Amino acid sequence: MSVVTLLTDFGTQDSYVAEVKAVLLGVPKVQLVDLTHEIPPYDIEAGAFQLWRAYRHFPPGTWHLCVVDPGVGSERRPLYVKTKNHHFVGPDNGLLSWAVRDVETQEKTAGKYFQIPSPKKMLTTFHGRDLFAPFIRDRLKGKSPKITSVLTISGGSFPLEEKRGDRRVGHVLYTDHYGNLVTTLSASEGAAFAEINHRQVFTAPSYSAIPEGSVALVAGSHGLWELAAREDSAAKNLRAKKGDVVTLTLT
């Protein structure tokens, strides 16, 4: 059985996701898994984060189809990346890079990068349905669509925190469905407290341990520190948003 994950900013109001799946269902015994279709429109960094945190939980050989593509129809390249254990397909705009760099680190070898050529008479700008999905379908059916090797891809590794003595400086990367603020600060080290928007936030061992009405610093399942409120939105409580600076003081 072939596994294909899908990550987009298409939402679920329209038929876009279903149309992409309709193409992929042309593969016998394919298993389609929705990573998310609720990436904020055009937010490449949010898409890159969700792919980075999710891809590693899938078995070797999984294909990841990712479309957050504000540059669709422009000169940006349609991209296919093949590593030892994973396949990534999507626009070459940085969306794939955090996951790809992470895979390369884990596998200790560079992936192979390819440009997927667009048909000359392609009139549509729906590349998810008409370019990326057909490419994956054909590869899984044993066909070999023409691709061109490229040396580099856009984007770097996951953003590193800045080290300043016993302090670490990062920023808010993403606000999840519950209003938790995911930061770029690694939770691999213990922390005393964080500072954001002139407020100090102390640590808690879990969401349920946060006092009612308070905000706390919690180690998230993705290995990053989160600012969270108990059954409430930390984003609203702290009046914080993506990009706000977060300073962590270590124990």
Please say which residue of 150, 174, 196 terminates a domain: 150
pLDDT in tens, 167-183: 999 999 999 999 999 99
Beta bridge partners of 218: 226
- The answer to whether residue 156 is domain-embedded is no
- The answer to whether residue 177 is domain-embedded is yes
User: Coil, strand, or helix at residue 69?
Assistant: coil
Please say which residue of 150, 178, 202 terminates a domain: 150
Residues 144 and 206 in one domain: no
Contact 136, 25 (CB under 8 A): no
Identify the CA nearest to 227 among candidates 246, 212, 211.
246
**Predicted structure pTM score:** 0.91
Mean pLDDT of 97-125: 89
Query: What's the CATH code of the domain at 239?
Result: 2.40.30.90
Query: What domain range includes position 235?
Result: 162-250
pLDDT in tens, 157-170: 999 889 988 899 99
Residues 80 and 115 in one domain: yes
Contact 202, 248 (CB under 8 A): no
Residues 16 and 72 in one domain: yes
Contact 50, 7 (CB under 8 A): yes
- The answer to whether residue 144 is domain-embedded is yes
pLDDT in tens, 44-98: 999 999 999 999 999 999 999 999 999 887 888 999 999 999 999 999 999 999 9
Residues 190 and 143 in one domain: no
Residues 29 and 7 in one domain: yes
